[in-house]
Amino acid sequence: MKSALITGAGSGIGRATALAFVAAGWQVGLIGRRREALEETAGLAGGGLVLPADVTDPQAVESAFDAAMDEFGRIDLLFNNAGQGSPTRTIDEMPLEDWYNVLGVNLTGAVLCARAAFARMRHQAPQGGRIINNGSIAAYVPRPGSVPYAVTKHGITGLTRCLALDGRPFNIACGQIDIGNALTELARAMTKGVPQADGSIRAEAMMDVEQVASSVLHMASLPLSANVLFMTVMATTMPYVGRG
């Protein structure tokens, strides 16, 4: 049975993906800051190893990955999903606290988890595994007033490319899923209206979060000889191609 670790598994995309992986027969480790939320995910999924950890804390990350190795014997997949945004502001009005908080979770947290996964995948037998980073459409086309989020998601693209290259000698594949307008509790406000590039506020089309989960599962289910380097999955009529 293959094993997966999912960060940000207590809600939203992480929770939906955990449910899909458990249903598909994977052993799943659930990483997040809130134990209660992780336990709720495990209850909904009918399984899952609860691993409370702050992804910005190096020791907490290492401890969570050690616990997963002790339980599963190996790590076949990391879905590097944990992330957060910040209120819409131009850079001069952005509190530095917003920048440091988003940078810590979205980029430093992703690097720490990728580092932990890579080390274990490199040294386990048989060698190898897969890392899937949660990017964003903002990794290509930012929304107005989104410096912390957009910059860190551009950084995720650099991480993905580096890991995809550096993982080759060790049979470690790395890909990125860029998601547009998945309907989670956090994104529900978008159905009422969000700032557009022309200064207007408009509601946007949304898609079911289960479509994201099934896309991640597809990427994870490929043999390590094949890799989806970048996948964009989005609400069909959202303002992406025409944004700007």
List, by residue number, the catalytic residues: 149
DSSP-assigned letter for residue 146? B
Distances in whole angstroms, Cα of residue 144 to Cα of each of 53, 150, 151, 158, 211: 32, 10, 12, 22, 26
Q: Give the integer Cα–Cα distance in Å for 41 and 39.
A: 5
CA-CA distance, 214 to 113, in Å (whole number)? 22
Query: Which of 87, 80, 34, 60 is closest to 179 using CA atoms?
Result: 80
